[in-house]
Amino acid sequence: MKLLIVGANGTIGKAVVEEMKDTAEIIQASRSNSTIQVDITSTASIQHMFEEVGEIDALVCTAGAAHFGTVEELTPELNRIAVESKLLGQVNLVLLGLPYIRDKGSITLITGILMDDPIVKGASSAMANGGVRAFVTSSAIELPRGIRINSVSPNMLEESKEKYGPFFEGYEPVPAQRVALAFRKSILGAQTGQSYTAY
């Protein structure tokens, strides 16, 4: 099976590559430092990536940016970062990638714990996560040709504890490898429309 992973260079992306490398032929894409370069905030860049990669069996996204700031500090402009990247970046991967995904293939997107268990300064990220989860739930009932779609919602990562720990006081960090297992379940399982949590 041919697996395209967008965000291959991130902590979760690398763990998914490690988890799936014995099972799939993996094509790695990211903003930089990968075989394929892609900017998910640009539909032209996404389109170009799919033309370059061609047909795939599994599409995985572990990428998506958001601005972290209090609601009082958050401007419509700063909130657009999450909208254009984590939300629309991922939704557009689905909309533009669908013709390239083979029958019975799969799509797995990424959300995050903040939509369920919020932190101060996390509202913009939570918004994007909630939007992606609901898009996945809904699109799953009508994707053509047996294509499945799920999302994975990670807790704070053990690998990011030093950097983000102060924002996530009391959260139980999970190793990226546990998150990668949820991606494996989505890619190789038979369920669709699920939000797999690694909390």
Residues that bind a copy of itself (CB under 8 A): 43, 70-72, 74-76, 79-80, 83, 87-88, 91-92, 94-96, 98, 114-116, 118-135, 137-144, 193
CB 91, min distance to a copy of itself, A:
6
Residue (33 or 99) nearer to a copy of itself, CB: 99
> CB 92 → a copy of itself: shortest distance, Å?
5
Find tokens 């949820």 and name the residue: 182
How far apart are alpha carbons 156 and 172 in whole angstroms?
7
Q: Which is nearer to a copy of itself, 95 or 188 (CB)?
A: 95
Nearer to a copy of itself, 22 or 103 (CB): 103
Number of H helices, E strands in the chain: 7, 7
Calpha distance 185→19 (Å, rounded): 11
Closer residue to a copy of itself (CB): 120 or 188: 120
Bridge-based pairing of strands 101-110 and 148-154 is parallel
Bridge partner residues of 6 (DSSP): 29, 61
Smallest separation, CB 33 to a copy of itself (Å): 26
How big, in percent rounded to 5, are the helix, strand and coil portions of the chain? 45, 20, 35
What's the closest the beta carbon of residue 5 comes to a copy of itself, in angstroms? 21
The number of CA neighbours under 13 Å toward the Cβ of 65 is 12
Q: How far is the CB of 3 from a copy of itself (least distance, A)?
A: 21
Residues 26, 17: Cα–Cα separation, whole Å? 7
